[in-house]
Amino acid sequence: MKQKLLLFLFSFLFSLKSNAQCAMCRAVLESEEGQTTAEGVNDGIMYLMAIPYLLVAGIGFMIYWKFFRSKKEIK
């Protein structure tokens, strides 16, 4: 269990540095002289991508917690 958690945390932190732009957005933003807008758009895309994963993980954890908690109370 500890190895799975460590792998999850490592992969989550590793994915924070990835580029998340489509080809068209990248072409338009790279033609700009300053890269601040491109970085802002990339950060926004990563933020919008992370929220659904966090919600699904939270719901999954709650279901997991309730399942094993009720299993212990029955015994």
What is the pLDDT, as a whole number, of residue 17?
A: 59
Instruction: Read off the pTM.
Output: 0.47
What is the pLDDT, as a whole number, of residue 61?
A: 93
Q: What is the DSSP letter of 18?
A: S
What is the pLDDT, as a whole number, of residue 58?
A: 95
Distance from C-alpha of 7 to C-alpha of 19, rounded to nearest angstrom: 21
What is the pLDDT, as a whole number, of residue 57?
A: 94
Tens digit of pLDDT for each residue in 22-68?
777 767 777 777 777 777 877 888 888 889 999 999 999 999 888 88
